[in-house]
C-alpha cells in the first residue's frame, strides 16, 4: 500500500511542486494551505507523514506541530521551511526532521525515505 503524505504550505506553487515530486516518488499526496485545514486532513485522511511549513497566515507551523503532537505523537513530521533560523527553535525539536526549502527536493525526499525505511524495519511480519 502506498504511503500517504500531507503537504502543508500556504504557497500554492510550493504545494503543487511538492505534490508532483512526491507523487513521482510513488507516494499518495494530499495538501493543505493552512494549519486548520492540515489538522482536519490529519483526522480525515490519516496520512503516514506530514511536511509542514512554519510561516503561514493564521496558525503558524510550530503551533500546528504542537497540536499534532498532543493528539498523534507518533505521526512523523518534517518541518520544511525557507527560514533556517528556526532550525534551532526549541519548538522545532518536536519535529522528526527540519529541511530548509530549496529548488532541489533531494534532502526532503531522502528524509522521507529515511523515516519510512526506519518504520518498516520496526515492523514484524
- The SS3 call for residue 31 is strand
Q: What is the pLDDT of residues 16-54, one digit of tens each?
A: 999 999 999 999 999 999 999 999 999 999 999 999 998
pLDDT value at residue 35: 94
CB neighbourhood size of 105 (10 A): 19
Indicate whether 125 belongs to any domain.
no
- What percent of the chain lies above the pLDDT cut of 90? 56
Q: Which domain holds residue 85?
A: 4-120
pTM beyond cutoff 0.75: yes
Number of domains, the chain: 1
Indicate whether 80 belongs to any domain.
yes
Which residues, including other chains, have CB under 8 Å from residue 105's CB and lie 6 or more apart?
17, 18, 21
CATH of the domain at 34: 3.40.50.2300
Q: What is the pLDDT of residues 52-67, one digit of tens each?
A: 998 888 888 889 999 9
Model confidence at 122: pLDDT above 90: no
Indicate whether 39 belongs to any domain.
yes
Amino acid at each position: 500500500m502506498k504511503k500517504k503524505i500531507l503537504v502543508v504550505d500556504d504557497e500554492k506553487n510550493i504545494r503543487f511542486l511538492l505534490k508532483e515530486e512526491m507523487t513521482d516518488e510513488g507516494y499518495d499526496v494530499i495538501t493543505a494551505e493552512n494549519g486548520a485545514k492540515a489538522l482536519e486532513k490529519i483526522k480525515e485522511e490519516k496520512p503516514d507523514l506530514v511536511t509542514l511549513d512554519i510561516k503561514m497566515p493564521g496558525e503558524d507551523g510550530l503551533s500546528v506541530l504542537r497540536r499534532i503532537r498532543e493528539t498523534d505523537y507518533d505521526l512523523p513530521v518534517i518541518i520544511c521551511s525557507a527560514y533556517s533560523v528556526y532550525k534551532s527553535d526549541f519548538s522545532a525539536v518536536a519535529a522528526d526532521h527540519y529541511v530548509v526549502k530549496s529548488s532541489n527536493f533531494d534532502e526532503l525526499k531522502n528524509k522521507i525515505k529515511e523515516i519510512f525505511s526506519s518504520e518498516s524495519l520496526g515492523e514484524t511480519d
